[in-house]
Amino acid sequence: MKVKVISVLDDNYMYLVIEERTRDAIAVDASVAKKLLHIVRKENANLKAILTTHHHLDHSRGNADLVRQFPELHVYGTDDRIGGLTHRVVHNQLLKKVFCGHEYTVRNLKFALKVEPDNEHVKEKLAWAKARDDDDIPTVPSSLEEEFLYNPFMRVREESVQKFTGKTDPVDVMRVLRKENDEFKKPKDRLPIPALLAYQWGLLNQSAAAPK
């Protein structure tokens, strides 16, 4: 089996999973149909199905176009809001590899380092992820075994994580982590999107666009 990691939009990933003997393939989160089909043709693959993880357009908006072009295509997902859905599925499989839908690895590991500043696994993974990011190389996949070493959301029973949150109950620990992570991810001094676009298009001068 071969997995092609396809970077699209701002920080999204699509995946093309290819059975190398038959060249049959399944796409995961087909958000940009044109780019996906370019990779399908380049790999000489036969696109048989799409798996859509959730209904957000940055994960599903290519479905309708692909189904129009390939009426026999199967689209799998868990949500009726997913465009082009043909087959409802449930989550009942053991996952060994973890493929995320966005490239947030460096940011997530920076948060993990805030939670556990003495965790050597976090430090090593962050250094690795930064090097990959600098070279524009995807950081996926990881494994569940790895995630348990550095992902604070999977380490809620660890003393160091509980110390950071001030809680011991796993549910309370998770709740505090979620809140802290949301605050950690908030952009600072960032222009509103319309203003940013106007600035990029030269409609605003730098002094007018600068945040106060």
Helices 105-115 and 120-134, interaxial angle, to 10°? Answer: 160
Q: Tell which residue, 130, 125, 140, has the closest CA to residue 3.
A: 140
pLDDT digits 0-9 by tens, 166-180: 999 988 999 999 999
Residues of the chain with pLDDT under 50: 93-95, 189, 191, 196, 199-200, 204-212
Looking at residue 19, what is its pLDDT? Answer: 87
Give Cβ neighbours of residue 155 (< 8 Å, ≥ 6 apart).
Answer: 116, 148, 161
d(CA 155, CA 174): 9
Give Cβ neighbours of residue 152 (< 8 Å, ≥ 6 apart).
Answer: 111, 112, 115, 116, 161, 164, 177
Answer whether 78's CB lies under 8 Å from 56's CB: no
Question: Please, what is the end-to-end C-alpha distance for the chain in angstroms?
Answer: 52
Looking at residue 212, what is its pLDDT? Answer: 45
pLDDT digits 0-9 by tens, 124-179: 999 999 999 899 888 888 877 788 899 999 899 899 999 999 999 988 999 999 99
Looking at residue 209, what is its pLDDT? Answer: 43
* Helix H or strand E encompassing 135: none
User: Out of 3.40.50.920, 3.60.15.10, 2.40.50.140, 3.40.50.1980, which CATH number does the structure's domain 2-93 have?
Assistant: 3.60.15.10
Answer whether 40's CB lies under 8 Å from 34's CB: no
Helices 170-185 and 105-115, interaxial angle, to 10°? Answer: 120
Q: Where are the domains of the chain?
A: 2-93, 103-185
Answer whether 150's CB lies under 8 Å from 109's CB: yes
